Amino acid sequence: MLNHIKQFANYKTPFYWYDMGLLQETLQVVKNESEKYGFQVHYAIKANANEPILNMIQSFGFGADCVSGNEIQAAIDSNFSPEKIVFAGVGKSDDEILLGLDNSIFCFNVESIPELQVINELASKVGTKAQVALRINPNVNASTHHYITTGLEENKFGINMWEMEAVLSRLETSDSINLIGLHFHIGSQITDLQSFKSLCVRINEIQQWFYSREIIVDHINVGGGLGINYSSPDKELIPDFASYFKLFNDFLETRPKQKVHFELGRAIVGQCGSLISKVLYIKKGVQTNFAIIDAGMTELIRPALYQSVHKIQNLSSNLIEQKYDVVGPICESSDSFGKSLMLPETKRGDLIAVRSAGAYGEVMSSQYNLRTKAMAYYSGTPNKSK
Ligand code: LLP
């Protein structure tokens, strides 16, 4: 990153900076490791929907995991094949469902009985059949932040197993629906692979339940959720995809010809992005100094929303380290990137990098306080912005 500091001086801060070389290397690893087992990967567009990023991911032949009509449209605009587009979400609107049907997307991941009914009605109205996977709530704890845990009965996502007999009766009378898969997703930023092992064990039990009713689906979609190393990104710029995919190969019991699908977001794009900001003021505090930077929770809401840690680097100074609270300019006390951080002596005008901002950074930005939307720049495609 330090190699780019001269180039950074030309850009107005704050801005997002994406290392397209790292993205490419990461994608190559994902491809190699998943192909070993014939696994199919859909990129979760919600993590980062920038055009150059989507284009590069698409060029590796991956599919897309979408959660809105606009994400489906973005996937299509970036040439993702509709046969590789999956559409999830607890609240799909009629227009969004119709967009999916119009484009003959691969699969709707259905989250409730009423949704199944609406998809059936709409598909019948437009004279087509919808391919669906049932998103099942496996009731497996992902041991991550409670805001990004999704696979517990108390969460709004997925259908619970105790409802499954009713779902099957509904399917029997749903002539415009083809059941092709079972879908699961237990949460995000999961760093303990044991949680994925528990998911496999649970899926095996659930498959047995379906099998005993003579139902074998074409594919099992295990969702996403693989975490990244936020505290020491340079130690692990590319997550351990080899162990991740191997675990599913070792523990998930598939039926003959059954495919396994994944929906990875953060693990693919997280480490390739940084939020680059400038120090506006150093303000004396009681215990520590405040380094007030020109990026805030409007550009990266993760620390304020999930108390998440992002490594912070001063790119301009190599002086002796001191303690700083690094905060943004937004009128909220939660607008803080970290307290009592050791940074080289920092002064007005220094460039600060907030690392690992490639996933759920720019896509979650807001214009609160009427802030201007920050630009994005990409290494390898100089000055290309969006
Ligand atoms: N599939 C489904 C059904 C999902 O809900 C998600 C993420 C993914 C796949 C992709 O998960 P990933 O591989 O990226 O962990 N804004 C939060 C994360 C929210 C995740 C929402 N669902 C954050 O900044 O940590």
Reported as a single tens digit per residue, the pLDDT across 103-119 is 999 999 999 999 999 99
Residue closest via CA to ligand 1's atom 23 equals 360
122, 73: one domain: yes
Q: Which of 40, 46, 87, 354 to mutate to test the pocket of ligand 1 (most atoms within 8 A of CB)?
A: 46
Contacts of 62-71 with C-beta under 8 Å, sequence gap 24+, read: 62/27, 62/30, 62/31, 63/106, 63/261, 65/224, 65/263, 65/265, 68/96, 69/93, 69/95, 69/96, 69/99, 69/100, 71/45, 71/46
Q: How far apart are CA 10 and CA 383, in angstroms?
A: 10
Is 88 touching ligand 1 by the criterion CB < 6 Å? Answer: yes
Confidence bin at 6 (pLDDT 50/70/90): confident
Give residues with Cβ within 8 angstroms of 185, minimum separation 6.
88, 135, 150, 151, 157, 158, 222, 223, 224, 225, 263
121, 208: one domain: yes
265, 275: one domain: no
Q: Please give the pLDDT value at position 286.
A: 86
Q: What is the CA(187)–ligand 1 centre distance, in A? A: 7
197, 285: one domain: no
Is 241 touching ligand 1 by the criterion CB < 6 Å? Answer: no
299, 155: one domain: no
Q: How far apart are CA 129 and CA 123, in angstroms?
A: 6
Residue of 239 and 385 predicted with greater confidence: 239
Element holding 210 (H helix, E strand): helix 194-211
Q: Please give the pLDDT value at position 146.
A: 65
Q: Comparing C-alpha atoms, which of 324, 305, 298, 328 is closest to residue 313?
A: 324
Residue of 46 and 157 predicted with greater confidence: 46
Last-in-domain residue among 246, 270, 294: 270
Q: Please indicate, yes or no, if residue 34 is contained in any of the structural domains.
A: yes
The answer to which of 53-62, 177-186, 257-266, 280-289 has the lowest mean pLDDT is 280-289
Q: Looking at the CA of residue 265, tell me the nearest atom of ligand 1.
A: 14
Q: Please give the pLDDT value at position 36.
A: 98
- Residue 353 sits in a domain whose CATH number is 2.40.37.10
Q: How far apart are CA 184 and CA 84, in angstroms?
A: 17
Domains of the chain: total: 2
Q: How far apart are CA 156 and CA 207, in angstroms?
A: 22
Residue percentage of the chain with pLDDT more than 70: 95
212, 68: one domain: yes
Given a contact cutoff of 8 angstroms between Cβ atoms, the answer to whether 257 and 216 are in contact is no
Q: Please give the pLDDT value at position 147.
A: 60
200, 292: one domain: no
Is 219 touching ligand 1 by the criterion CB < 6 Å? Answer: no
Average pLDDT for 118-123: 98
Is 270 touching ligand 1 by the criterion CB < 6 Å? Answer: no
Last-in-domain residue among 252, 270, 288: 270
- Whether residue 153 is predicted with pLDDT greater than 90 in this model: the reply is no
- Whether residue 152 is predicted with pLDDT greater than 80 in this model: the reply is no
Q: Please indicate, yes or no, if residue 384 is contained in any of the structural domains.
A: no
Q: Please give the pLDDT value at position 106.
A: 98
**How buried is 30 (Cβ within 10 angstroms: 0-12 exposed, 13-18 middle, 19+ buried)?**
buried
Q: Please indicate, yes or no, if residue 91 is contained in any of the structural domains.
A: yes
Q: Please give the pLDDT value at position 29.
A: 98
Q: What is the CA(149)–ligand 1 centre distance, in A? A: 9
Given a contact cutoff of 8 angstroms between Cβ atoms, the answer to whether 368 and 301 are in contact is no
In sequence order, what E strands does 49-197 have? 63-66, 85-87, 107-110, 130-135, 177-183
Q: Please indicate, yes or no, if residue 51 is contained in any of the structural domains.
A: yes
**Residue 74: how many CB atoms within 10 A of its CB?**
18
Q: How far apart are CA 209 and CA 268, in angstroms?
A: 33
105, 220: one domain: yes
Q: What is the CA(41)–ligand 1 centre distance, in A? A: 14
Q: Please give the pLDDT value at position 382.
A: 44
pTM reported for the whole predicted model: 0.96
Q: How far apart are CA 112 and CA 147, in angstroms?
A: 21
Residue closest via CA to ligand 1's atom 20 equals 188
- Whether residue 143 is predicted with pLDDT greater than 90 in this model: the reply is no
- Cis peptide leading into 14, omega within 30 of 0? yes
Mean pLDDT, all residues of the chain: 94
Alpha carbon of 150 to those of 204, 223, 361: distances in Å?
19, 11, 20
Last-in-domain residue among 225, 251, 270: 270
150, 285: one domain: no
114, 166: one domain: yes
Residue 45 sits at the vertex; the CA angle it makes with 36 and 194, to the nearest 5 degrees, is 50
Tokens of 367: 């214009």
Q: Please indicate, yes or no, if residue 385 is contained in any of the structural domains.
A: no
Given a contact cutoff of 8 angstroms between Cβ atoms, the answer to whether 186 and 149 are in contact is yes
Q: Please indicate, yes or no, if residue 75 is contained in any of the structural domains.
A: yes
Q: What is the CA(8)–ligand 1 centre distance, in A? A: 30
Q: pLDDT tens, 30-51? A: 999 999 999 999 999 999 999 9
For the chain, what's the residue count?
386
121, 234: one domain: yes
- Whether residue 227 is predicted with pLDDT greater than 60 in this model: the reply is yes
Residue closest via CA to ligand 1's atom 22 equals 188
Q: Please indicate, yes or no, if residue 262 is contained in any of the structural domains.
A: yes
Q: Looking at the CA of residue 270, tell me the nearest atom of ligand 1.
A: 14
Q: Please indicate, yes or no, if residue 383 is contained in any of the structural domains.
A: no
Q: Looking at the CA of residue 88, tell me the nearest atom of ligand 1.
A: 3
Q: Looking at the CA of residue 188, tell me the nearest atom of ligand 1.
A: 15
315, 226: one domain: no
- Whether residue 383 is predicted with pLDDT greater than 50 in this model: the reply is no
Confidence bin at 385 (pLDDT 50/70/90): very low
- Residue 152 sits in a domain whose CATH number is 3.20.20.10
- Whether residue 150 is predicted with pLDDT greater than 70 in this model: the reply is no
Q: Containing domain of residue 146, as a range? A: 20-270
Alpha carbon of 202 to those of 99, 205, 295: distances in Å?
33, 5, 43
